[in-house]
Amino acid sequence: YNNLGVASLRKGRRAEAMAYFQKSLELRPRRAEVHGSLGDALYLEGRRGEAIMEFQKVLELEPDNPRAHFNLGLALAQEGRTGEAVNHYRKALQGDPSAIPTLNNLAWILATCPEASLRNGAEAVRHAEEASRLAGGENAGLLDTLAAAYAEAGRFPEAMETARRGLALATSGENSTLAAGLRRRLALYEAGRPYRKVP
């Protein structure tokens, strides 16, 4: 049933996929991968609270599963549970230190979170530099995060240079939404101010 569910999920048939995953769990309730797949489907349906519960079940069975820690961090961050998200992103990196999405998401929170207790410019720079390096240094979204990290660390010349590189890439790639965001953030860095994400 799990394989049928995964196939349905790939085709965008989420309700059908969830039915298969639930049937699979009725037969074998302690299968971490099925809880993870069900969590993915619920997350895509916008049912984040239920998705969080499924990702937590994965971690009860496999406490070091980096994908489950990442997915849980993602869902928790979107629910405003930022401190918990940071913990899970850090645990995800322990298991998979080269995961670009995890490095980027953690760096973004550490650089831009409105809660001062959660910000850490030096750690944000470390993760954002690694993500950008692993991606070849030509990804506008990762450069946006790296610029925000530099700004949080008080390294405004580097923040401005990095944001300009990201802006050029976003503009040439016709990513108007990211380009607009980068322009706004670049203006802050030019004024010597870091970016704070609005809650």
Q: pLDDT, tens digit, for every residue of 91-150? A: 999 999 999 999 999 999 999 999 999 999 999 999 999 999 999 999 999 999 999 999
Chain centroid to CA 44: 15
Element (H, E) at 124: helix 121-134
Under the phi-then-psi rule, with left for phi > 0, alpha for psi from -120 to 50, and beta for the rest, what region is 119? beta
- Asked whether the beta carbons of 162 and 150 are under 8 A apart, the reply is yes
Q: How confident is the model at residue 2 (pLDDT cuts 50, 70, 90)?
A: low
pLDDT at 70 over 90: yes
CA angle, residues 27, 48, 63, in degrees to nearest 5: 60
